[in-house]
Amino acid sequence: MPDLVQLTINGKAVSAPKGTLVIEAAKQVGIEIPAFCYYEGYSLQAACRMCLVEVEKMPKLMPGCTLPVAEGMVVHTESPKVVDSRKSMLEFLLTNHPLDCPVCDKGGECELQDMTFRYGLGESRFTDIKQHVDEKQWSPLVYFDAPRCILCYRCVRVCEEGMGVQALGIGKRGVATEIIPNAGDHLECDECGNCVDICPVGALTSGTYRYKSRPWEMNYAGTICTHCSDGCKTTLSVRNGAIIRANNRDRSGINGEFLCAKGRFGYDFVHSPERLQTPLIRKDGKLEPASWSEALSLVAARLSELKSRGAKFGVLGSTHTTNEENYYLQKFARTGLGTSNIDHQRTGDVPALLDALSGHENALATVGDLYTAKSVLVISSDLSQQHPLLAFQLRANYRHNRAAVYTVTPGPVRERDYAARSVVVAPGAELDLLPALADELKKHGNLVIVFGPAIKGGAVHSLVAFGDSLGIPVKYICLVSDSNSRGALDMGLLPDLRPGYQAEAQPGLALPEILAAPDLDALWVVGSNPFETAPLASRDCFVVVQDLFLTETAQAADVVLPSASAYEKSGTVTNTAGEVQRLKPGPKVMGAKSDLEILGLIAKEMGLDLGIWSSDKVFEEIRRTVRGYNVALPVIATGGASPTTPVNGHVPASRPDLIQDSGDTLFTSGTLGRYSNVLKSVMEAPGTLYKP
Amino acid sequence: MTFSQELESRFAKMLDNYPPGRQKGAVIPMLIYAQDEVGAVTPELVQEIAKRLSVKPIEVNEVVEFYSMLHRTPLGKHHIQICTNISCQLTGGDELWQHACKKLGIGHKQVTPDGLFSLEEVECLGACSWAPAIQDGYEYHHHVTPEKLDKLIDDVRQAVKAQ
Ligand code: SF4
Ligand code: SF4
Ligand code: SF4
Ligand code: FES
């Protein structure tokens, strides 16, 4: 590298690229310069003076967080002058700090505590009475306690730069300075809680977690958010078997520390009083509680009996269950019951994309690619509402790399604030506009195209043909709605495609036809709620439902089996970009069983040999047999995301007419969202699309 | 929100003064002149200026919070600012302040019931050479004594009565 600068830090020789900040150069050689306001990825602030270092030949101490390295620079980070100044800075920060650590949420994981412990004086010369300011509630989810604030402005920056919301500002001045919310006395914002998360002290606290626990009294489970399809890693904090917080402070996962309102706060459905905790069997027209053994035997007996007389089955899967469960369910249907009447609510045309990309290499983008691509084209999606992580990645790419972002959407989107071009077109006319953009797109060198469910069937092929015509590397993301919508497709919850998009020799009925079949004998619904929108035509049909809640569908069932949510089980899910990640169980809800266990137990009861129903074993089978899923085990086992490989070969079209966007916003999440009081409590809920 | 023709043309000229894309630099003068016309920085005014400068309202609010000469509630017709910073203090600024409070029966940032006067104790007015100094609206008064202040107030009252 030509532009390396040589300098010395604490006697260690360091070489760093021109423009590197001293604080980062020090990090490279294992020297920590303490900092509050400096935060990787966000604009420089130089507000806290915690990072002051001594630089030879410079008259004053310099902030290491804004000082770029220079040739021959000699830096001392632990000289008596520096040590002394840190003590003074901390003494200052604590002049009006309430020091209510024993009751502060942040106690135990507070950066001010840690710094004081490591660098503080231990005594204060300030004896003035502390100025109290009452804490304020800014929303159901965000509280502000001004005296605890050390004015690092991290919250302001994460909201403005990271989220593009700009809901936080700085009020008053001097000693009276306070963080202020955008709507006078409250917040009108995304309610993502990233400000709470990034606050180094307990000044911003979360409405769901505050005063609930000490951080060391919880168990942690790093799993994957079960709401949208972006696949954020979320670390559940579990106390006495209940989730009381979700965040991702260790920045593991494809999302770093980012989470949206659903991933951070929308876990309360798990402990909803409406969770089913015992199987229900219809007796004299009413659903009555029953034991697991009674319910499972009944289901097994009825299914065996129906199977023996060649009955007509329908099986509907879920977009939130794991790959293992989806795989096992389709195997159950296809080999156990001998039917390919299996489907789920589709939300994106992945089969068309894979077919169009046959013969292409490296054409599936990952979430990470959205941060590194030179240009990104978003078609038909309100990303900030529907795919918050992807929107966050795009903003970061623009902020750090000046990526050129283009949007072509049926209404205005937040990305227009920084997009190179943001065009609103009538639905259906999205692709017509592309040729006009071609020359501009070519210039950037590479491109990721992200498209929503409105682009399906032939349109996907046209889109890929357009991408090919550009003559630059183009990658694609086909957006789907839910946490494992992608996995449902990949695992063959389709009447005409088997796992890995292999054509089904004898295609079965699709979802609407199953519901409309007047002669359907049995319907088995796992984790979805089809009756919410469409009735069941068959009058004499045995209906089994596995679900967390007594949904419209469960209410009409003959047997209801209480299932566990994604937060209570192991297995893998695949995000909208086709990256496979592992779930880890956090809490346990009494009485519920994972869908995989339920399926396994029914299979056993029926005497079917479908293989062992442990998620690890089923995953092994998936890796062996499903095209594209021979993913790197160590990556997944250590909590990473491993991309699936494209199937590369012809994929038959699979009913694009059945694709429908879930329509979920930042604050809704299908049936799950209906049982999250937290999501319903924010005043922005349910949110609207295309109204930035 | 619409302003007088005069103010509108003033705004138009002002926006021209800033390089393209830097129009938000006009936020302070716009707030001050609009405040003079509207009487206070109302929430609608904040929204309006944010819209005209293509910034989020919170950015305008940050400025309003920072500068003490921007007021969220209406002031008196005569807004009297009295300096009690060091030079004025040494030459009787404190006494002047006490006197004004007593005479008008109001305190810091308060308005007389007839809406004629409001008072504000301020830091340096930049007129130390002529301390103690006060400011009535945009007008400076130098070497002010309690008597001079009385006269100023009485003259205003007289003039109003005469109308
Ligand atoms: S919750 Fe999110 S959107 Fe709201 S103020 Fe905090 S960072 Fe901004
Ligand atoms: S509230 Fe927290 S993050 Fe925001 S400025 Fe204060 S200490 Fe920093
Ligand atoms: S962006 Fe999607 S995956 Fe990430 S936290 Fe939000 S809902 Fe969950
Ligand atoms: S970290 Fe450098 S001034 Fe805050």
* Residue (of A213, A214, A30, A31) closest to A113 by Cα position: A214
Ligand 1 neighbour A383 (Cβ under 6 A): no
Check: CB of residue B54 under 8 Å from CB of residue B74: no
- Is A80:A36 a contact under the CB 8 Å cutoff? no
Is A280-344+490-577+591-642 CATH 3.40.50.740? yes
A172's CB contacts (< 8 A; 6+ apart) are A178, B65, B66
- Using a 6 Å cutoff on CB, does residue A163 contact ligand 2? no
Chain A residue numbers touching B57 (CB-CB < 8 A): 182
Beta strands in chain B (DSSP E): 78-83, 117-122, 134-136, 139-141
Q: How far is B145 from chain A (nearest CA, A)?
A: 32
Cβ contact B41:B72 at 8 Å: yes
Which one is the CATH code of A350-479: 3.40.228.10, 3.40.190.10, 3.30.300.30, 3.40.50.2000? Answer: 3.40.228.10
What's the token pair of residue B86?
């060091």
- Strands laid side by side in the A404-409 sheet: A421-424, A404-409, A375-379, A447-451, A474-478
Q: Copy the structure tokens of residue A147.
A: 């005296």
Q: Do B61 and A180 touch (CB under 8 A)?
A: yes
Q: Is A271 left (phi over 0), alpha (psi -120 to 50) or beta?
A: alpha
- Residue A323 C-alpha, separation from nearest chain B C-alpha, in angstroms: 44
Pocket test for ligand 3, best of A234, A245, A260, A484 (most atoms within 8 A of CB): A260
Mutate to test the interface with B, among A156, A166, A417 (most CBs of B within 10 A): A166
The pLDDT confidence band at residue A2, using thresholds 50, 70 and 90, is low
Tokens read off for B104:
């008008």
Ligand 1 binding pocket includes A204 (Cβ within 6 Å)? no
B97-121 per-position pLDDT tens digit: 999 999 999 999 999 999 999 999 9
What number of other Cβ atoms are within 10 A of residue A359's Cβ? 10
Q: Which of A14-23, A593-602, A641-650, B76-85 has the lowest mean pLDDT?
A: A641-650
What pLDDT is attached to residue A647?
86
pLDDT per position as a tens digit, A449-479: 999 999 999 999 999 999 999 999 999 999 9
Cβ-defined contact of A166 to B58 (cutoff 8 Å)? yes
- Is A24 close to ligand 3, i.e. is its CB under 6 Å away? no
**Amino acid at the residue A328:** Y
Q: Determine which helix (DSSP H) or strand (DSSP E) holds A523, and give its type and residue range.
A: strand A522-526
Q: For A111-271, give the CATH class.
A: alpha beta
Could you tell me which of A495, A492, A490 has the C-alpha nearest to residue A628? Answer: A490
Quick one: residue B99, left, alpha or beta (phi over 0 = left, psi -120 to 50 = alpha)? Answer: alpha
- What A668-672 contacts at long range (C-beta under 8 Å, 24+ apart), as own/partner pairs, is A669/A227, A669/A228, A669/A262, A669/A266, A670/A481, A670/A482, A670/A529, A671/A528, A671/A529, A671/A532, A671/A549, A671/A551, A672/A226, A672/A227, A672/A266, A672/A269, A672/A320, A672/A548, A672/A565
A286-289 vs A280-283, strand pairing mode: antiparallel
**A4-93 classified as CATH 3.90.79.10:** no
Q: What is the mean pLDDT of residues B144-150?
A: 97
**A171 closest CB neighbour out of B56, B57, B65:** B65
CB distance A153 to ligand 4 below 6 Å: no
pLDDT tens digit sequence for A257-308: 999 999 999 999 999 999 999 999 999 999 999 999 999 999 999 999 999 9
A430 Cα distance to chain centroid: 27
How much distance in Å is there from the Cα of A203 to the middle of ligand 2? 6
* Inter-chain Cβ pairs, chain A and chain B, closer than 8 A: 29
- Which residues are within 8 A (CB) of A544 and not within 5 positions of it... i.e. 6 or more apart? A299, A303, A522, A523, A524, A525, A557, A558, A559, A560, A561
**CA A504, CA A350: separation in Å to the nearest integer?**
17
Domain range annotation of chain B: 5-66, 78-162
Q: Ligand 2 pocket: which of A38, A149, A168 to mutate (most atoms <8 Å of CB)?
A: A149
Residue to substitute in A150, A170, A206, A257 for testing ligand 2 pocket (most ligand atoms within 8 angstroms of CB): A150
CA distances from A311 to A88, A305, A339, A521 (A): 81, 9, 10, 6
How far, CA to CA in Å, does B141 sit from each of A61, A401, B81, B120? 44, 55, 10, 15
Taking each helix axis from N to C end, the angle separating B27-38 and B43-53, rounded to the nearest 10 degrees, works out to: 140
Kindly list the distances between the CA atom of residue A518 and the CA atoms of A92, A535, A555, B74, B114, in Å, as whole numbers in the listed order.
Answer: 77, 11, 20, 73, 82
**Class level of CATH domain B5-66:** mainly alpha
Q: Which residues of B touch A172 (CB under 8 A)?
A: 65-66
- Best probe residue, ligand 4, of A40, A48, A85 (max atoms within 8 Å of C-beta): A48
Q: What is the mean pLDDT of residues B1-17?
A: 94
A232 lines ligand 3 (CB under 6 A): yes
Phi, psi of A560 (to 5 degrees): -115, 130
What ipTM goes with this model?
Answer: 0.85
Is any atom of ligand 2 closer than 6 Å to the C-beta of A199?
yes
Percent of chain A with pLDDT over 90: 97
Please tell me the distance in Å from B44's CA to the nearest CA on chain A.
Answer: 12
Which of A587, A582, A578, A641 has the alpha carbon at shortest distance from A615?
A: A582
Judge if the beta carbon of residue A189 lies within 6 A of ligand 1: yes
CB of A236 within 6 A of ligand 4: the answer is: no
Which architecture characterizes domain B78-162 according to CATH? 3-Layer(aba) Sandwich (3.40)
Task: Identify the pLDDT of residue A122.
Answer: 82
Residues of A in contact with B61 (CB under 8 A): 169, 171, 180, 182
CA distance A614 to A328: 10
Domain boundaries, chain A: 4-93, 111-271, 280-344+490-577+591-642, 350-479
Query: Which residue shows structure tokens 């309690």?
Result: B146
Contact between chains at A172 and B65 (C-beta distance less than 8 A): yes
- The residue assigned the tokens 């003559």 is A471
Q: Cβ(A49) to ligand 4 under 6 A?
A: yes
Q: Measure in Å the smallest separation between the Cα of B143 and chain A Cα atoms.
A: 30
Structure-block tokens of residue B148 = 């001079």
Give pLDDT, residue A3.
84
Three-class SS state of A246: strand
CA–CA distance, A68 with A54 (Å, rounded to integer) = 14
- Beta strand A142-144 with A204-206 is antiparallel
Question: What pLDDT, on a 0 to 100 scale, did the predictor assign at position A1?
Answer: 53
Tell me how many degrees the CA angle A392-A397-A400 measures, rounded to the nearest 5: 120
Nearest ligand, CA A66: 4
- Measured distance CA(A683)–CA(A662) in Å, rounded: 21
Return all residues near B116 (Cβ < 8 A) that are at least 6 apart.
Answer: B76, B77, B78, B156, B157, B160
**Tens digits of per-residue pLDDT, A82-138?**
999 999 999 999 999 999 999 999 999 999 999 999 999 888 898 889 999 999 999
Measured between its terminal Cα atoms, the distance across chain B in Å is 32
For ligand 2, atom 4, the nearest C-alpha belongs to: A155
- Closest by CA position to A659, among listed A519, A525, A458, A394: A458
Compute, in angstroms, the gap from residue A143 CA to the centroid of ligand 1: 11
A22 and A53 in contact (C-beta within 8 Å)?
yes
Atom of ligand 3 nearest to the CA of A669: 7
Atom 2 of ligand 2, nearest CA residue: A199
Of A169, A172, A173, the CB nearest to B58: A169
C-alpha closest to that of A251 among A234, A226, A269, A270: A234
Return the H-helix or E-strand segment holding A306: helix A292-308
Lookup result for tokens 């004594």: B145
pTM here?
0.94
Axis-axis angle for helices A111-119, A80-93 (nearest 10): 140
Amino acid at A581: Q
Q: Say yes or no for a CB contact (<8 Å) between A171 and B43.
A: no
Half-sphere exposure of A81 (CA within 13 A, CB side): 11
Q: Both tokens of residue A631?
A: 């993913």
| Rounded mean pLDDT, A205-226 | 96
Report yes or no: A577 and A643 within 8 Å, Cβ to Cβ.
yes
Note the pLDDT tens digit of each residue in A58-89: 999 999 999 999 999 999 999 999 999 999 99
Nearest CA in chain B to A170: B62
Inter-CA distances, A482 with A227, A231, A348, A635, Å: 6, 9, 10, 23
